[in-house]
């Protein structure tokens, strides 16, 4: 140890305190498995499929042609002369290049993003909210919604000697949230979403969470995910009003993760933004409730996760405080320009009559029905499996089924010091090469859940459901036989259709 200059105990205790999520445990196991496949180690599956997090293009969803064509022209402007490309593609690329310094995507931008694109975002929001005003100067572009959230959370965290900053968070919450709060040194106080009410936000739970943790921290904000990640719940106007009134009464900043606003698919339901609801409430609330709403390029329909861009709209915040939002973004220099341009294309797509409109509409408007059908298909299968039950989702890209696991698995998990759903996911990965997410516990135990992204091509979904089904039925079978049987090779098993058919019996 004497030789080491920087040893473990020199590492920032806050960084050391970042909780290892079940997601990163599974990812490490997946990497090992993939390496073994490459090295020729025999496995009962040919390839690993990962539906634990939302990465539609990895799963085989196709990118949007209009977005990609415009970006290609912006990168290689010689293509402006390529007549094989639709005229609106080339005109848009020209306009976006003019918005960049030096007419190049290779130049830095302001840390809050290109003014032209902040304006596009403001116009999109205003249209979405049917006229509620939105201003470019309240929009901050960042390299993803997660990064934007980190900026706000750090802004609110307290220095030494002060009571720790507290943040109300839903339980379950997005799997990336707890590590982020750990790093920022903010205390998470979970309010339970009510599973029996299809994961609704309940006012009494907000009050309970606040009361339970009061005195142990200074509450400054409440975080909401709507449509819910991972629950798929969509709040209605009344529920949103309740949360706004609660935030106002408790003087909490509202942090609203609305990254799945484009992917509500439940019949007769549509997304309504927190901002719109707020601006239709009484004057006092409209003028005083402070809110930050997050959106992302990695959302459902365009799903350009790899390009890294998102934004936040800051509402009713003190201008002195907002100045520090900009200061914090400065240390990132700026969000990647290709991502910024893709935000512009996502929020201001081709219009009817434009040469690219038909293709654009065909590609993106198909996403929602695919999502709805996939969700429906998965829901039926999951609910038909013994010991599994799942609420229908209304939006977002996940299903979050509850697992009632065999006692044997729960005991084994206990011995290994793991949550039983994580053990389930590890076994599923090892036996079937399928990665699902394990439940977000955040301190509560006893119930177990899985997280399943359903925004994948339908044939991939069939394969995913087939793997879940065979594994789950084998596991139940094991329990019935009181002992483990050697895993059958998938190659000797019935076809996915037959398997799924059987599972319904």
> Hey, which residues between 246 and 305 contact its own copies (CB under 8 A)?
251-253, 287-290, 303-305
Residues 455-484 that bind its own copies (CB under 8 A): none
Q: What is the DSSP letter of 217?
A: B
Residues 351-390 that bind its own copies (CB under 8 A): none
Q: Rounded CA gap, 426 and 464, in Å?
A: 15
Using CB under 8 A, which of 29, 116, 136, 179 touches its own copies? Answer: 179
Nearest CA to 274 out of 260, 258, 296 is that of 258
Q: What is the DSSP letter of 18?
A: S
Tell me if 421 sits within 8 A of 20, measured CB to CB.
no
DSSP-derived secondary structure for 43-101: -SSSS-EE-SS--TTTTTPPPPHHHHHHHHHHHSGGGGG-TTS-HHHHHHHHHHHHHSG
Residue 156 vs 266, nearer CB to its own copies = 156
Using CB under 8 A, which of 32, 108, 444, 502 touches its own copies? Answer: 108
Per CB under 8 A, does 105 bind its own copies? Answer: yes
Residues 35-74 that bind its own copies (CB under 8 A): 53, 55-61, 63, 65, 68-69, 71-73
Per CB under 8 A, does 222 bind its own copies? Answer: no
Residue 184 vs 413, nearer CB to its own copies = 184
Tell me if 297 sits within 8 A of 431, measured CB to CB.
no
| Min separation Cβ 415 and its own copies, Å | 26
Using CB under 8 A, which of 5, 41, 407, 505 touches its own copies? Answer: 5
Positive or negative, the Cα torsion across 183, 184, 188, 194?
Answer: negative
Residue 13 vs 443, nearer CB to its own copies = 13
Residue 196 vs 318, nearer CB to its own copies = 318
Count the site residues for its own copies by CB under 8 A: 92
Nearest CA to 462 out of 62, 49, 45 is that of 49
| HSE toward the beta carbon, residue 358, CA cutoff 13 A | 3
Tell me if 388 sits within 8 A of 281, measured CB to CB.
no
- C-alpha gyration radius of the chain: 24
Per CB under 8 A, does 155 bind its own copies? Answer: yes
Tell me if 426 sits within 8 A of 24, measured CB to CB.
no
Per CB under 8 A, does 336 bind its own copies? Answer: yes
Q: Rounded CA gap, 264 and 456, in Å?
A: 16
Residue 77 vs 392, nearer CB to its own copies = 77
| Min separation Cβ 143 and its own copies, Å | 6
Per CB under 8 A, does 321 bind its own copies? Answer: yes
Backbone angles phi, psi at 450, to 5 degrees: -125, 155
Per CB under 8 A, does 337 bind its own copies? Answer: yes
Per CB under 8 A, does 204 bind its own copies? Answer: no
| Min separation Cβ 427 and its own copies, Å | 24
Per CB under 8 A, does 187 bind its own copies? Answer: no
Residue 107 vs 389, nearer CB to its own copies = 107
| Min separation Cβ 483 and its own copies, Å | 37
Per CB under 8 A, does 107 bind its own copies? Answer: yes
Using CB under 8 A, which of 98, 160, 196, 282 touches its own copies? Answer: 160
Which among 8-16, 257-265, 404-412, 443-451 is the span making contact with its own copies, rule CB under 8 A?
8-16
Query: Is 244 exposed, middle or buried, given 0-12, 13-18 or 19+ CB atoms closer than 10 A?
Result: buried
Residue 113 vs 232, nearer CB to its own copies = 113
> Of how many residues is the chain composed?
505
Using CB under 8 A, which of 29, 44, 94, 158 touches its own copies? Answer: 158
Which among 331-339, 344-352, 358-366, 410-418 is the span making contact with its own copies, rule CB under 8 A?
331-339
Per CB under 8 A, does 331 bind its own copies? Answer: yes
Which among 102-110, 223-231, 392-400, 479-487 is the span making contact with its own copies, rule CB under 8 A?
102-110
Separation of first and last alpha carbons in the chain: 61
| Min separation Cβ 106 and its own copies, Å | 4
Q: Which residues contact 153 (CB under 8 A, 6 or more apart)?
A: 167, 180, 181, 184, 186, 221, 255
Using CB under 8 A, which of 42, 83, 98, 161 touches its own copies? Answer: 161
Using CB under 8 A, which of 327, 383, 444, 502 touches its own copies? Answer: 327
Residue 115 vs 386, nearer CB to its own copies = 115
Residue 420 vs 438, nearer CB to its own copies = 438
Which among 95-103, 119-127, 274-282, 495-503 is the span making contact with its own copies, rule CB under 8 A?
95-103
In what helix (H) or strand (E) does residue 115 lie, and over which residues does it extend? helix 115-128
Nearest CA to 336 out of 152, 144, 486 is that of 144
Per CB under 8 A, does 493 bind its own copies? Answer: no
Which among 12-20, 370-378, 396-404, 478-486 is the span making contact with its own copies, rule CB under 8 A?
12-20
Which among 190-198, 328-336, 353-361, 462-470 is the span making contact with its own copies, rule CB under 8 A?
328-336
Q: Which residues contact 4 (CB under 8 A, 6 or more apart)?
A: none
Backbone angles phi, psi at 68, to 5 degrees: -70, -35
Contacts by residues 113-118 (CB-CB < 8 Å, ≥ 24 positions apart): 113/139, 113/140, 113/141, 113/142, 113/311, 113/334, 113/335, 113/340, 114/141, 114/337, 114/340, 116/344, 117/141, 117/340, 117/341, 117/343, 117/344, 118/311
């Amino acid at each position: 140890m004497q030789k080491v200059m920087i040893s473990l105990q020199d590492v920032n205790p806050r960084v050391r305190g970042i909780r290892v999520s079940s997601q990163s445990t599974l990812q490490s196991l997946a990497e090992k498995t993939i390496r073994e496949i490459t090295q020729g180690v025999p496995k009962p599956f040919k390839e690993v499929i990962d539906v634990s997090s939302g990465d539609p293009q990895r799963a085989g969803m196709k990118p949007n042609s209009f977005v990609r064509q415009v970006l290609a022209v912006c990168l290689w402007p010689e293509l402006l002369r390529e007549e094989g490309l639709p005229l609106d593609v080339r005109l848009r690329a020209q306009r976006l290049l003019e918005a960049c310094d030096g007419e190049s995507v290779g130049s830095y931008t302001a840390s809050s993003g290109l003014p032209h694109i902040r304006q596009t975002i403001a116009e999109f929001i205003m249209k979405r909210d049917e006229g509620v005003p939105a201003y470019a100067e309240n929009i901050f572009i960042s390299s993803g919604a997660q990064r934007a959230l980190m900026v706000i959370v750090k802004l609110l965290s307290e220095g030494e000697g002060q009571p720790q900053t507290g943040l109300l968070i839903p339980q379950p919450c997005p799997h990336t949230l707890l590590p982020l709060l750990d790093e920022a040194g903010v205390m998470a106080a979970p309010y339970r979403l009510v599973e029996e009410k299809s994961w609704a936000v309940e006012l009494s739970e907000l009050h309970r969470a606040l009361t339970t943790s009061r005195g142990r921290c200074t509450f400054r904000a409440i975080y909401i995910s709507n449509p819910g990640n991972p629950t798929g719940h969509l709040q209605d106007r009344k529920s949103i009003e309740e949360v706004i009134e609660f935030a106002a009464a408790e003087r909490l900043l509202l942090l609203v993760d609305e990254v799945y606003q484009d992917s509500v698919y439940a019949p007769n339901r549509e997304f309504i933004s927190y901002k719109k609801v707020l601006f239709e409430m009484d004057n006092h609330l409209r003028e005083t409730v402070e809110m930050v709403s997050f959106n992302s390029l990695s959302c459902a329909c365009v799903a350009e996760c790899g390009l890294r861009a998102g934004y936040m709209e800051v509402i009713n915040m003190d201008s002195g405080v907002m100045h520090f939002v900009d200061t914090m973004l400065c240390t990132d220099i700026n969000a990647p320009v290709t991502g910024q341009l893709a935000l512009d294309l996502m929020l201001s797509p081709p219009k009817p009559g434009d040469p690219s409109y038909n293709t654009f509409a065909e590609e993106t408007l198909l996403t929602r029905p695919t999502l709805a059908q996939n969700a429906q298909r998965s829901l039926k299968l999951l609910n038909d499996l013994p010991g599994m039950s799942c609420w229908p989702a209304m939006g977002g890209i996940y299903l979050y089924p509850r697992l009632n696991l065999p006692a044997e698995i729960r005991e084994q998990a206990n011995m290994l010091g793991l949550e039983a759903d994580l053990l389930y996911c590890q076994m599923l990965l090892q036996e079937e090469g399928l990665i699902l997410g394990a439940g977000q516990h955040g301190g509560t135990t006893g119930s177990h859940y899985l997280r399943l992204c359903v925004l994948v091509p339908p044939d991939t979904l069939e394969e995913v459901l087939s793997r879940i089904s065979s594994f789950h039925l084998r596991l139940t079978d094991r329990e019935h036989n009181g002992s483990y049987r050697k895993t059958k090779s998938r190659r000797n098993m019935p076809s996915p259709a037959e398997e799924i058919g059987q599972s319904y019996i």
